[in-house]
């Protein structure tokens, strides 16, 4: 489970404890992705939806494709609030939640650090740059992308793990998947350019040589 998604799940569980209702975990991917749902159920989710298709794990799948598959699977659920992680741990595009909101026709807020449900609205605290925050109020239903650190994560207990085996995971086959809008042109490992040089001579000579190298080669002093 992506770290931001874990925080989104925890926030959903806390909202259920405060306001009632149910928590439904949803993921899109091949059969192995069901492990993420089992973990969510063990932590306290009531049921789960698995949009299962091997194509959703291919390198040619982007946020647009995944969001579309999720939207088709959850649209009829009529959820009051949809929480997603801010971004994934691998590519970190931070677009799946935003596109999902658009596909569902829901108002949305991103980088959320606090959630206050005041029906028929929800009031959220967004993290901005430079240490600034913004409070936003919007009508329900809505979608929020949750920032890591919004809460303290709970972990699955043995009782929760055993209970998860009896909870429902509804499998859904996606419809026709659209073409991806983003493609990866290539991946490259950063090249190591660091080199160690030994400067010999007396302390005065070594200091003079070091200053010259910092000025002419490294160009960090003038």
| CATH number, domain containing residue 36 | 3.40.50.620
**Pair 141, 67 in one domain:** yes
**Pair 162, 207 in one domain:** no
Among residues 81, 93, 79, 113, the alpha carbon closest in space to that of 7 is found at: 113
**Pair 42, 95 in one domain:** yes
**Pair 212, 158 in one domain:** no
**Pair 125, 162 in one domain:** yes
Looking at the domain assignment, is residue 108 inside a domain? yes
Residue 46 is predicted with a pLDDT of 95
Looking at the domain assignment, is residue 68 inside a domain? yes
Residue 71 is predicted with a pLDDT of 93
pLDDT at 104 over 70: yes
**Pair 123, 24 in one domain:** yes
Per-state percent for the chain, helix, strand, coil, to nearest 5 = 35, 25, 40
Looking at the domain assignment, is residue 179 inside a domain? no
Looking at the domain assignment, is residue 184 inside a domain? no
**Pair 163, 208 in one domain:** no
Which tens digits make up the pLDDT trace of 43-77? 999 999 999 998 888 766 889 999 999 999 999 99
Range of the domain at 203: 193-222
- Measure the CA–CA gap between 12 and 190, rounded to whole angstroms: 39
**Pair 140, 55 in one domain:** yes
Query: Considering the chain, what percentage of its residues have pLDDT values greater than 90?
Result: 64
**Pair 114, 22 in one domain:** yes
**Pair 89, 159 in one domain:** yes
**Pair 154, 214 in one domain:** no
Looking at the domain assignment, is residue 180 inside a domain? no
What is the number of structural domains in the chain?
2
**Pair 77, 131 in one domain:** yes
- Measure the CA–CA gap between 52 and 64, rounded to whole angstroms: 16
Q: 50 near 172, Cβ under 8 Å? A: yes
CA 37, 72, 60 angle in degrees (round to 5)?
75
Looking at the domain assignment, is residue 134 inside a domain? yes
Split at pLDDT 50, 70, 90, the class of 93 is confident
Which tens digits make up the pLDDT trace of 128-186? 988 899 999 999 999 999 999 999 999 899 999 999 999 999 999 888 888 888 887 88
Residue 45 is predicted with a pLDDT of 95
Least confident of 32-41, 52-61, 76-85: 52-61
Looking at the domain assignment, is residue 55 inside a domain? yes
- Measure the CA–CA gap between 49 and 34, rounded to whole angstroms: 9
215 vs 101 pLDDT, higher one: 101
Looking at the domain assignment, is residue 164 inside a domain? yes
Split at pLDDT 50, 70, 90, the class of 39 is very high
pLDDT at 109 over 90: yes
Cα 200 off chain centre by: 52
pTM: 0.80
């Amino acid at each position: 489970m992506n770290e931001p998604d874990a925080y989104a799940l925890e926030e959903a569980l806390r909202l259920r404890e405060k306001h009632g209702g149910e928590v439904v975990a949803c993921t899109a991917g091949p059969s192995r992705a069901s492990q993420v749902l089992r973990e969510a159920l063990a932590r306290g989710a009531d049921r789960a939806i698995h949009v299962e298709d091997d194509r959703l794990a291919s390198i040619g799948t982007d946020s647009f494709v995944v969001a579309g598959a999720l939207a088709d699977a959850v649209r009829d659920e009529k959820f009051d609030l949809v929480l997603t992680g801010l971004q994934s741990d691998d590519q970190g595009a931070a677009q799946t939640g935003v596109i999902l909101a658009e596909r569902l026709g829901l108002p949305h807020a991103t980088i959320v650090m606090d959630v206050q449900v005041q029906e028929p609205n929800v009031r959220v605290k967004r993290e901005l740059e430079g240490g600034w925050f913004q409070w936003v109020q919007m009508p329900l239903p809505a979608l929020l992308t949750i920032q890591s650190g919004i809460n303290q994560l709970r972990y699955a207990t043995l009782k929760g793990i055993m209970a998860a085996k009896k909870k429902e995971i509804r499998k859904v086959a996606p419809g026709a998947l659209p073409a991806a809008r983003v493609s990866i042109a290539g991946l490259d490992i950063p090249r190591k350019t660091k080199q160690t040089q030994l400067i010999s001579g007396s302390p005065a000579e070594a200091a003079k040589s070091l200053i010259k190298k910092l000025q002419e080669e490294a160009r960090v002093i003038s």
